[in-house]
Amino acid sequence: MSTPKPYCLSLTEYKRFPTREVKIGGIGIGGPNPIRIQSMTTTDTMDTIKTVEQCIRMIEAGSELVRITAPSINEARNLELIKNELRKRGYQTPLVADIHFTPNAAEMAARIVEKVRINPGNYADKKKFDLIEYTDEAYQAELLRIREKFTPLVKICKEYGTAMRIGTNHGSLSDRIMSRYGDTPEGMVASAFEFLEIAEDEGYQNIVLSMKASNPIVMVQAYRLLVSRMMETGRNYPLHLGVTEAGDGEDGRIKSAIGICALLDDGIGDTIRVSLTEEPEFELPVCKDMVKRYQQRHTAPLKEIISLPYDPYAYSRRHTTTIGNIGGKLVPVVIADYSSAELIKPTSLEAVGYRYDATSDKWHIADGAADYIYVGNNSVSFALPGTLKIIQNPGNTAHPIEKIKCFTLIPAKDIPTLTTEKQARFIDLCIDDEYVWSNAFINNLMQQQSIILLLSSASKNRMQALRRYIIYLNENHIAWPCIIRIGSSAGTLDEQLIELSADSGSLFLDGFGDGILLQSAFKTDQNTKVSGRTYLPLTSIQQFLNNTAFSILQATRTRISKTEYISCPSCGRTLFDLQETTAKIRQRTHHLKGVKIAIMGCIVNGPGEMADADYGYVGSGPGKITLYKGKEVVKKSIASEKALDELIGLIREHGDWIEAE
């Protein structure tokens, strides 16, 4: 494989990609400025006071920019009333107009607010999902048409000092881009560059770029390609990061942390927005938890990576040896931490997916059931359910009846004393120890059989450190499976959720990791709220960690264990109560393992994001819903009170429905 082009300044140190400063009112994005946080209103833009009051709640929660939808010229005009009322109340926060389909609304808004966001996928195109074979001449003719439509906005922005975000969405690429590039990160970058080059031809560079997708893998690859293209062409525009339609609750936070922090860790990103199907003020604390990870981040430099043994622009799983149920082409395993438990009983395992029925003397195993439990020096005095196995510390002999299911976690320093045998052994490998980088250690690894590595690091830049060590293993032709072991001592579950997701999820996005072990400094239930929302009932910290581990694997598409919801964050275009509807759909369909359901408030990104969903529920008019199977419209204009039953009927019709237990 040829050496991939670089997409960041360093893969081993935290170095922000230097971007030009773009002024948005009194706020600077890029350049020497900190990473900015922002959100978007969900109110009807024509309701001035309601929108102003929501803006104020967002600003007081920390939003440094406020985005407001302007689906028509009427809403664009009303932005002036909203802005005047905010300024009258003493709020100077810059406003951003969000535009789809309507160039005249963009041109009006650019004269009023400090920034306009346009989507190159639908600014000058209507999406019909038509596959058209373009000749080079026909393609150029289309670009001339786009230039004619887009140039007036550029000139207005230039005249009024208005900033612009060229915001590509994976779910709304134009038919023209889709016909030439397909539904790919390459197409996303090409779409943005077409509009960027038109603006540059007009001498306008007050631009921020974004590459959003609901799939974190696609999103990360698109931003990497964008930065690589900018480096190649001498450009340095600031970047707005976000995982669109992330959903709600812990799943939305996990998916957002994985995608956004995978880029921030590599120094990519100047402003972020977390798109949750919740009130917008709940998005800001999540943004704050992410951004503070990168404040005064100083790390000891690691050995630089000369060439990548993988393609950062296309997913592939690291090749590893299969050992038992770990490695190779098997899905990553989940290991639950019981090393600090006071007493492990059958009921203790309910937290990680195993429920014992004493009457029938049988175990009931959930889809999200852990594969191993790490007990440390603790004991288990009962027969384990199903295929559940134990990892224990050396010298722990408290499992005579389960000996065949017991594996030892051996310190890395003891590997020279090991005999060569086929019994699988886990190696506790902290990469902060210089010894594990030595030739002697590597030689000992090569001589062993059936080794599984539990990798950990205490570095602030932990993801990069772990990535560097896995690449080091590849450089030495060592294919032992690696378990990603991440612990958190952050003060709240909010912060722990972000830290655990960011540090492990980034590695799984690049195909690194044959399993996951999450650990928490909390030993009992506490802080069980996330941004004001209560989790599903927690019986223990083990349940929090187990749920998080499976959600990380689900978000990175490496192990599917539950229904996935692609849900937009709502805005003034939304045609129904998105939060209430999402909750109802989740309640009826949460047991459909592996089924992806998209819930979209309107048609802006709805049909496009259907490409990544099995079924779609999209607002198509007041009180009306359109249902999709993939990208295809199946039923139109269904009354909203009947739409959920119709959705379930559609799922049944295509053979994806099972009855809940």
Rounded Cα–Cα distance for residues 116 and 40 (Å): 13
- Between strands 482-488 and 207-212, the pairing is unpaired
Report the chain's mean pLDDT, rounded to a whole number.
Answer: 88
Place of tokens 């937290």: 351
Flag whether pLDDT at 572 surpasses 60. no
Q: Read off the tokens for 422.
A: 């086929």
Q: What is the pLDDT of residues 275-284, one digit of tens each?
A: 987 889 999 9
Rounded Cα–Cα distance for residues 513 and 470 (Å): 9
Q: What is the pLDDT of residues 151-167, one digit of tens each?
A: 999 999 999 999 999 99
Q: Average pLDDT, stretch 452-464?
A: 94
E-strand stretches of 350-497: 354-357, 362-365, 372-376, 389-392, 406-411, 425-430, 451-456, 482-488
Selected from 3.30.70.100, 3.40.190.10, 3.30.420.40, 3.30.413.10, the CATH number assigned to the domain covering 564-653 reads: 3.30.413.10
Q: How confident is the model at residue 527 (pLDDT cuts 50, 70, 90)?
A: very low
Flag whether pLDDT at 619 surpasses 90. no
Q: What is the helix (H) or strand (E) element at residue 41, kind and residue range?
A: none
Rounded Cα–Cα distance for residues 31 and 27 (Å): 12
- Say whether 93 sits in a helix, a strand or coil: coil
Class of the CATH domain delimited by 22-294:
alpha beta
Could you check whether 333-555 and 564-653 share the same CATH topology?
A: no
Q: What is the pLDDT of residues 40-84, one digit of tens each?
A: 999 999 999 999 999 999 999 999 999 999 999 999 999 999 999
Q: What was the pLDDT predicted at 251?
A: 86
Q: What was the pLDDT predicted at 135?
A: 84
Place of tokens 């009921």: 347
Class of the CATH domain delimited by 333-555:
alpha beta
Q: What was the pLDDT predicted at 69?
A: 95
Helical H runs in 265-405?
A: 283-291
Are 451 and 425 in contact, with CB atoms under 8 Å apart? yes
Which range is least confidently modeled, 173-187, 236-250, 524-538? 524-538
Q: What was the pLDDT predicted at 526?
A: 46
Q: What was the pLDDT predicted at 599?
A: 83
Task: Name the phi and psi angles at 336, rounded to 5.
Answer: -95, 140
Q: What is the pLDDT of residues 325-359, one digit of tens each?
A: 999 999 999 999 999 887 889 999 999 999 998 88
Flag whether pLDDT at 624 surpasses 90. no
- Write the single-letter amino acid at 59: I
Domain boundaries, the chain: 22-294, 333-555, 564-653
Task: Give this prediction's pTM.
Answer: 0.89
Q: Average pLDDT, stretch 184-195?
A: 96
- Write the single-letter amino acid at 344: I
Which range is least confidently modeled, 27-31, 557-561, 574-578? 574-578
